[in-house]
């Protein structure tokens, strides 16, 4: 790999990307394609396959295993079960399943969960939240023609989410304390030697050091430019919390910068060669779309915590919220126009899955925030989702009742 290929800064620049995607957002319509409709009979068949898979998984986790051989056998059985579920409930083809299940993604996610469990201050819920970012990074690795791997930088960056973002989103922490932390955090991201104020900051700064040990600041300034862009957007978001009537355009700009930069950092942390401007553009747009998905599914806690997002601004009017969610799907569809910037051998099935996921991800987020939507709109969404919402309610209740322990899964390290 030529070192010179890593010396350029972000191309195109963050400010230009924010401007470009602001225009795309404004031009996105609200008359969206939700994908093929699914009738009740097909839903019932899919749900039976989901129930069968969950029964199998719960039965496996009721019987602890203590040896590497036991874990390997469990992994093989679970992969077979996931492949069957993907085929029967999601209409995935063997080519889709091969790239999702046979190129290291499941192993990377399991390795992350096992390693994250050594951080005792991180909850299971936060570990799951962080694992979503690992999944995004694994997807980008595949898009760039790599095998999925959990590198130290992938682990460290993904752990920054529960350690820093959730800290800044915590309504119990005073705004002044958050700003003081954010100031020190920004200086540390910029490369300064900063003394941590407490054990929490010490852990965060340690994660930054892990990234630095793998990604040289001089050779890969794009990594730190994108990390600082996320930090700037987070700082602007903090400033909005005390404003009674935030300006919608300001909230939009922060959403674009934070979401786009976060996944752009993902890409620079795993890229083995220079990213083309077209690839940067797609990755930035993907990050925005995923930020919108997160903001919709976190609508209730964001409102409770006083956080400000586009969906929070629209939450009082179900019709405005529905229009916003539709626009987000239309925006995601437009982002997919740049997906062909990636041409690694064998990734066409992955591109198909990514395109198929746009409406499904947003509908899933709407389900999690369903109390804010009108019943007619939810019925329309449900008709295009893989499972009926009432069945997902039953599944959620069952999983809560089971209380499967990490200690029974072999993921506790």
Cβ atoms of 309 and 302 closer than 8 Å: yes
Distance of CA 240 to the CA centre of its chain: 23
Once rounded to an integer, what is the mean pLDDT over residues 321-347?
Answer: 96
**pLDDT tens, residue by residue, 107-124:** 999 999 889 888 877 777
Kindly report the number of other CB atoms within 10 A of residue 243's CB atom. 11
How far is it, in rounded angstroms, from Cα 339 to Cα 352? 10
> So where are the chain's domains?
16-399
Cβ atoms of 210 and 231 closer than 8 Å: no
| Distant-in-sequence contacts of 368-375, Cβ < 8 A, 24+ apart | 368/296, 368/297, 369/296, 369/297, 369/299, 369/300, 369/311, 371/300, 372/299, 372/300, 372/315, 372/318, 372/321, 373/318, 373/321, 373/322, 373/325, 374/318, 374/319, 374/322
What is the number of residues in the chain?
413
**pLDDT tens, residue by residue, 31-65:** 788 989 999 999 999 999 999 999 998 888 777 67
How far is it, in rounded angstroms, from Cα 169 to Cα 161? 11
Element (H, E) at 18: helix 14-27
- The pLDDT, as a whole number, for residue 3 is 33
Reduced to 3 states (helix: H, G, I; strand: E, B; else coil), residue 230 is: helix
How far is it, in rounded angstroms, from Cα 322 to Cα 76? 42
Q: How much is the pTM?
A: 0.92
Element (H, E) at 194: none
- The pLDDT, as a whole number, for residue 404 is 52
Q: How confident is the model at residue 403 (pLDDT cuts 50, 70, 90)?
A: low
Q: What is the fold, at CATH topology level, of the domain defined by 16-399?
A: Farnesyl Diphosphate Synthase (1.10.600)
């Amino acid at each position: 790999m030529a070192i010179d290929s890593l010396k350029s800064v972000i191309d195109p620049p963050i400010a230009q990307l924010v401007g470009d995607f602001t225009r795309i957002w404004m031009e996105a319509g609200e008359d969206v394609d939700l994908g093929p409709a699914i009738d009740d009979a097909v839903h019932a068949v899919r749900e039976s396959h989901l129930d069968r898979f969950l029964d199998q998984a719960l039965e496996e986790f009721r019987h602890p295993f203590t040896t590497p051989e036991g874990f390997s056998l469990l992994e093989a059985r679970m992969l077979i079960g996931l492949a069957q579920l993907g085929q029967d409930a999601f209409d995935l083809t063997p080519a889709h399943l091969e790239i999702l299940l046979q190129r290291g993604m499941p192993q990377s996610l399991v390795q992350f969960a096992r390693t994250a469990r050594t951080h005792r201050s991180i909850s299971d819920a936060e570990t799951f939240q962080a694992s979503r970012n690992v999944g995004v990074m694994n997807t980008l690795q595949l898009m760039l023609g790599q095998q999925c791997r959990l590198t130290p930088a992938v682990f460290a960056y993904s752990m920054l989410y529960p350690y820093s973002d959730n800290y800044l989103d915590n309504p119990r922490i005073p705004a002044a304390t958050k700003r003081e932390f954010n100031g020190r955090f920004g200086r540390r991201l910029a490369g300064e030697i900063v003394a941590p104020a407490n054990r929490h900051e010490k852990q965060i700064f340690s994660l930054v050091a892990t990234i630095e040990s793998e990604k040289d600041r001089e050779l890969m300034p794009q990594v730190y430019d994108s990390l600082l862009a996320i930090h700037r957007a987070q700082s602007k978001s903090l400033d909005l919390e005390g404003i009674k009537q935030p300006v919608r355009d300001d909230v939009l700009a922060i959403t674009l910068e934070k979401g786009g930069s976060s996944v752009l950092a993902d890409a620079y942390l795993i890229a083995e060669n220079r990213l083309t401007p077209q690839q940067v553009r797609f990755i930035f747009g993907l990050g925005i779309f995923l930020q919108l998905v997160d903001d919709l599914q976190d609508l209730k806690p964001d409102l409770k915590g006083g956080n400000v997002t586009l969906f929070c601004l629209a939450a009082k009017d179900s019709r405005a919220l529905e229009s916003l969610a539709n626009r987000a799907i239309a925006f995601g569809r437009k982002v997919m126009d740049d997906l062909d910037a990636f041409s690694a051998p064998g990734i066409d099935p992955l591109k198909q899955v990514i395109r198929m996921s746009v409406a499904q991800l947003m509908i899933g987020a709407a389900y999690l925030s369903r109390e804010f939507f009108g019943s007619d709109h939810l019925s329309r969404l449900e008709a295009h989702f893989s499972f009926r919402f009432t069945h997902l309610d039953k599944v959620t209740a069952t999983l809560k009742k089971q209380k499967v322990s990490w200690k029974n899964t072999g993921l506790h390290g």
